[in-house]
């Protein structure tokens, strides 16, 4: 045991070390989450988190490779080494934290609602939706879905593979409300909503978003957390945040 300790140079130093040796940081994401990761008209993946990850890769001196992965299977994909890290607007939940490690949060969000226009006044909070006569939608595998099932358990729930379809169900009047992270709904209410949706914008959950790493990889966690500390204080974070969230 003692000799193993003195052979520190042979110790596995984790995903950041691997990325540096490879020359590429591979990040798993589901690019459907506006304005964090989304596909533009030219087919490029852009967004707030994408810019953070570009800056992270630059600090490592490596190229960034985005690995598109369905949100539902993103933790298993990390655990089976399809990529090095999850960067997909992932809420740090205690349940997920039993399976993976999380960096420090890079932003805090919460659940909000997009409701059918004609329910304005009738539905003032998520509590008013907790009735068997209402139908709510969200995306499969997300905290939107978990919160719907936990806090709005009496309503009928319908999960979709992507956010856009779930929003369209409300726009088309097939469902009454879409439950999702506030930043997504800010964009969606104007994009898909166009006078058909009302945004109940008061977040009713506390959801830190963080990067997901494999368990046990404390060297990489140290690197990522120190990097976050640096960019929060050297202007990098503010510059990127202003670019995507400026009113
Ligand atoms: N924050 C929510 C969650 O962790 C939604 C994230 C969705 N991310 C995405 N890339 N579609 O479940």
Q: Provide residues with CB under 6 Å of ligand 1.
A: 29-30, 32-33, 37, 71, 88-91, 142-143, 181, 207, 209
Give the DSSP letter string of 174-191: SSSEEEEEHHHHHHHIII
CATH placement of domain 2-108+208-245: 3.40.190.10
pLDDT at 194: 73
Residues of the chain with CATH 3.40.190.10: 2-108+208-245, 111-200
Residue 60 sits at φ, ψ, to 5 deg, of -80, -15
* pLDDT confidence of residue 10: 56
- What topology does CATH give the domain 111-200? D-Maltodextrin-Binding Protein; domain 2 (3.40.190)
pLDDT single digits (tens) 52-88: 999 999 999 999 999 999 999 999 999 999 999 999 9
Q: Whose CA is nearest to atom 5 of ligand 1?
A: 142
pLDDT tens-digit map of 11-46: 678 999 999 999 999 999 999 999 999 999 999 999
d(CA 17, CA 232) in angstroms, rounded, equals: 23
Total residues belonging to the chain = 247
């Amino acid at each position: 045991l003692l000799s193993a300790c003195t052979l520190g140079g042979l110790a596995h130093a984790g995903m950041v070390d691997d990325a540096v040796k490879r020359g590429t940081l591979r990040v798993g994401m589901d690019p459907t989450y506006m304005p964090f990761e989304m596909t533009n008209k030219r087919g490029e993946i852009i967004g707030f988190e994408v810019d953070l990850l570009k800056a992270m890769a630059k600090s490592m001196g490596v190229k960034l490779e985005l690995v598109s992965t369905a949100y539902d299977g993103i933790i298993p994909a990390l655990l089976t080494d399809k990529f090095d890290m999850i960067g997909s607007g992932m809420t740090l939940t205690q349940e997920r934290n039993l399976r993976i490690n999380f960096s420090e949060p890079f932003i805090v969000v919460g659940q909000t609602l997009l409701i059918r226009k004609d329910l304005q006044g009738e539905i003032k909070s998520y509590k008013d939706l907790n009735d068997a006569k209402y139908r709510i939608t969200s995306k499969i595998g997300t905290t939107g879905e978990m919160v719907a099932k936990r806090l709005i358990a009496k309503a009928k729930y319908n999960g979709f593979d992507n956010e856009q379809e779930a929003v369209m169900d409300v726009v088309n009047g097939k469902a009454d409300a879409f439950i999702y992270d506030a930043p997504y709904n800010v964009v969606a209410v104007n994009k898909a909503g166009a006078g058909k949706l009302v945004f109940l914008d008061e977040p009713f959950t506390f959801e830190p978003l963080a990067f997901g790493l494999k368990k046990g990889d404390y060297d990489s966690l140290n690197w990522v957390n120190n990097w976050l500390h640096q960019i929060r204080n050297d202007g990098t974070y503010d510059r990127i945040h202003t670019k995507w969230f400026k009113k």
